Chains A and B, each alone.
Chain A
Amino acid sequence: MQKILIIDDDPDFRLAVRMVVEAHDFEMEEAAAPDEGISKVLSFEPDLVILDVMMPTDYEGFQVARELREKHKLIDLPVLMLTNVHSVKKVPYRFAPDEDYLPVDVFLDKPIEPEQLVATIQEMLGERREELELPL
């Protein structure tokens, strides 16, 4: 059974995700804060991490992503950033996966349909993670 860790400070959202992913035969673990999340990445050894950004108000999730890659060298751990940072901060730009500044594999905005969440997880786990060969 493949394991998923969600790092998100919203208990309702964590519960909703748990119900969806467990219904699709994934093992689920939760963390409510950045430090707890990093600890559980190391102890639970998930196959994929769902990572929030604002925990609770600032951009803590960005730092978690960098720490996983740079400090803990978890280069191949699939990370799905799932957040409502754009709508809450009302910024005219968008954050996106970036090898140097935002090392996650997929960035999606909340809310997300359960079917799409599952499809994205399955796609991220089922396929070899392909690097985009910039610029073509």
Chain B
Amino acid sequence: MKTVKHKEYPIVVVGGSAAGLTAGITARRHYPQDDVLLVREERQVLIPCGIPYIFGTVGSPDKNLISDAVLEKNGIELLLARATDIDREKRVLHTTEGDVGYERLIIATGSRPAMPPIPGFDLDGVHAVVKDVAYLSELQQRLETSKDVVIIGGGFIGIEFADEINKAGDKNVTIVEMLPHCLALAYDEEFCVEMEKVLESRGINIRTSSRVDQIAGDGKVEKVVLSGGDEIEADVVIVGIGAVANVDLAQKAGLRIGLTGSIAVDRTMQTSDENIYACGDCAEKISFFGGRPSPLKLASIATLEARIAGANLFGIRRENVGTVGVWSTAVENTALATAGLTEVMAKKRGYDVVAVTVQGPNRHPGLMPGAADTRVKLVFERNSGVILGGQVMGGPAAGEVSNIISACVQNRMTAEDIAMFQTGTHPALTASPIAYHMVNAAEMAIKQMSECGG
């Protein structure tokens, strides 16, 4: 382990996951004359989005790691140490391996999994999704001998864990979700229902509209008790309900913490100290839609914020427009992807919306190899015609379609703009130019808007 004593760096980054790494790389790109030191505690850094796949497809935490070669390639120095405090006046970071001076500091300390204080949450066999190789290895070992697995939370983490664990084929896997559907915070009901069918067809039990009242057992978990009194046998419980910003260092240093419990930052990712920036799961977020606080925590958001923080260290070059919310998931051959607001969310926020769904193959003709029946739903604000969001269900390409939708949302494009897309098409690669999903959905929305006098 390298020891740094009283050495000064122009740029120091605390945190070595998606945000910290990207912030360091960005800082090197924008300020190539300045040395960058990255301080992190973990010897091995997990790829956060790959964690569910450790338990099935990938097979081991060791196969789901971010390589340190990225640091070397980008000329970033690494110090394996725990950052313990910041002397803001002297601009010194205290670590377990010595003090490090800085001109600019980026805090990217990430998040920790949230644990609801359900009675019995501290029983042996109840696990959170902790981003730690040793912890996940232990969970993996426990799963090898388990028979009944209950997953609390039917969001992305929950369904991906369920499907991966279920692949072993020798377990009863049950998802318990409080909302009426799995993924209900990300998709409109029709998409959630389709994904639930896929999960159930693979043998996964789903209990929606179900609140866990108790995790019961004598020292170790034996069952999960639902609010209606139903009991589900369990020898392992995995809680996947979200994450909480890790603000220990920032709070100790007296940086302002927002009411959401995350480090308060402005649009440039600057904290309440002008020499300290924060990005990723530890930093407070605002929504692209209206600017209210957003609890979303995604690696894609973290890296966007890192690209802002890393570029702004010695002069403002970028600003954060707010979190659009773009993400996707896949079970077997069915992919779901979303960007921006769903129809339900948009209405809840008070938008007058036009929502249009189109469906068809993403190859032409539809018998071409790799063709997947693809459903695209776009949501527009009725008066302006501006796109608010969209959802996609289909094959693996769904993820990239939602990225296109995100680009449309960020640029506040209208249905007319999208209808006038100049698309390239090919039988083996895309939908037909006659039935291109995005364009046809936009055209249908324009028709609906005009019929309503909008």
Q: A residues bordering B, Cβ < 8 Å?
A: 59, 62, 91-98, 100-102, 105-109, 112-113, 115-116, 119-120, 123-124, 127, 130, 132-136
A123–B284 Cα gap in the complex (Å)? 15
Contacts of B135 in A (CB 8 A): 92
Cβ-closest chain A residue relative to B258: A123
Cβ-closest chain A residue relative to B253: A113
A101–B130 Cα gap in the complex (Å)? 20
Q: Which residue of B130, B186, B292, B296 is within 8 Å of A93 (Cβ)?
A: B130
Question: B207: shortest Cβ distance to chain A, in Å?
Answer: 15
**B211 lies within 8 A of A100 (CB):** yes
Question: B420: shortest Cβ distance to chain A, in Å?
Answer: 28
Whether B266 is near chain A, meaning CB under 8 Å from some CB there, is no
Question: A15: shortest Cβ distance to chain B, in Å?
Answer: 22
Q: Which residue of B242, B248, B257, B323 is within 8 Å of A136 (Cβ)?
A: B323
Q: B residues bordering A, Cβ < 8 Å?
A: 112-118, 122, 128, 130, 132, 135, 178, 185-186, 211, 239, 241-242, 244, 246, 248, 251, 254, 256-257, 259-261, 287-289, 292-296, 323, 325, 340-341, 345, 348-349
Contacts of A108 in B (CB 8 A): 251, 257, 261
A105–B325 Cα gap in the complex (Å)? 24
Contacts of B248 in A (CB 8 A): 109
Contacts A116-B251, A130-B293, A136-B296; A93 near B259 (Cβ below 8 A): no
Contacts A59-B117, A133-B348; A96 near B257 (Cβ below 8 A): no
Contacts of B294 in A (CB 8 A): 132, 135-136
Contacts A108-B257, A136-B325; A93 near B114 (Cβ below 8 A): yes
Contacts A100-B116, A136-B325; A106 near B261 (Cβ below 8 A): yes
A26–B56 Cα gap in the complex (Å)? 56
**B185 lies within 8 A of A93 (CB):** no
Contacts of A95 in B (CB 8 A): 114-117, 244
Contacts of B259 in A (CB 8 A): 105-106, 120, 123-124, 127
Question: B317: shortest Cβ distance to chain A, in Å?
Answer: 26
Contacts of A59 in B (CB 8 A): 117
**A98 lies within 8 A of B256 (CB):** no
**B348 lies within 8 A of A94 (CB):** no
Q: Known A-B contacts: A100-B211, A115-B254. Give 19 more (CB < 8 A).
A: A92-B130, A93-B113, A93-B128, A94-B113, A94-B244, A102-B117, A108-B251, A108-B257, A109-B248, A112-B251, A120-B257, A127-B259, A132-B294, A133-B349, A135-B186, A135-B325, A136-B289, A136-B325, A136-B340
A69–B256 Cα gap in the complex (Å)? 28
Contacts of B244 in A (CB 8 A): 93-96
Contacts of B251 in A (CB 8 A): 108-109, 112-113, 116
A35–B115 Cα gap in the complex (Å)? 25
Q: Which residue of A98, A112, A135 is within 8 Å of B114 (Cβ)?
A: A98
Q: Which are the 5 A-B pairs with shortest beta-carbon distances?
A: A101-B116, A94-B244, A93-B115, A93-B128, A135-B185
Cβ-closest chain B residue relative to A99: B178
Contacts of B211 in A (CB 8 A): 100
Contacts A96-B244, A96-B261; A132 near B293 (Cβ below 8 A): yes
5 CB-based A-B contacts, threshold 8 Å: A93-B130, A108-B261, A124-B259, A133-B287, A136-B288
Contacts A109-B248, A112-B251, A116-B256; A132 near B295 (Cβ below 8 A): yes
Contacts of A101 in B (CB 8 A): 116-118
A100–B132 Cα gap in the complex (Å)? 28
**B118 lies within 8 A of A107 (CB):** no
Which of A94, A108, A109, A116 has the most B CB atoms < 10 Å from its CB? A94
Contacts of B246 in A (CB 8 A): 94
Question: A87: shortest Cβ distance to chain B, in Å?
Answer: 9
Contacts of A107 in B (CB 8 A): 261
Cβ-closest chain B residue relative to A131: B292
A101–B119 Cα gap in the complex (Å)? 10
Contacts of A136 in B (CB 8 A): 287-289, 294, 296, 323, 325, 340-341, 345
A129–B333 Cα gap in the complex (Å)? 43
Question: B165: shortest Cβ distance to chain A, in Å?
Answer: 19
Contacts A109-B248, A116-B256, A135-B296; A62 near B287 (Cβ below 8 A): no
A59–B116 Cα gap in the complex (Å)? 12
**B257 lies within 8 A of A116 (CB):** yes
A109–B250 Cα gap in the complex (Å)? 12
A113–B251 Cα gap in the complex (Å)? 8
Cβ-closest chain A residue relative to B132: A92
Cβ-closest chain A residue relative to B239: A93
Cβ-closest chain B residue relative to A97: B261
A88–B128 Cα gap in the complex (Å)? 18
A38–B404 Cα gap in the complex (Å)? 53
**B116 lies within 8 A of A102 (CB):** yes
A135–B287 Cα gap in the complex (Å)? 9
A100–B210 Cα gap in the complex (Å)? 12
Question: A113: shortest Cβ distance to chain B, in Å?
Answer: 5
**B116 lies within 8 A of A98 (CB):** yes
Q: Which residue of A112, A116, A135 is within 8 Å of B295 (Cβ)?
A: A135
A120–B259 Cα gap in the complex (Å)? 7
Which of B122, B241, B295, B349 has the most A CB atoms < 10 Å from its CB? B295
Contacts of A133 in B (CB 8 A): 287, 292, 345, 348-349
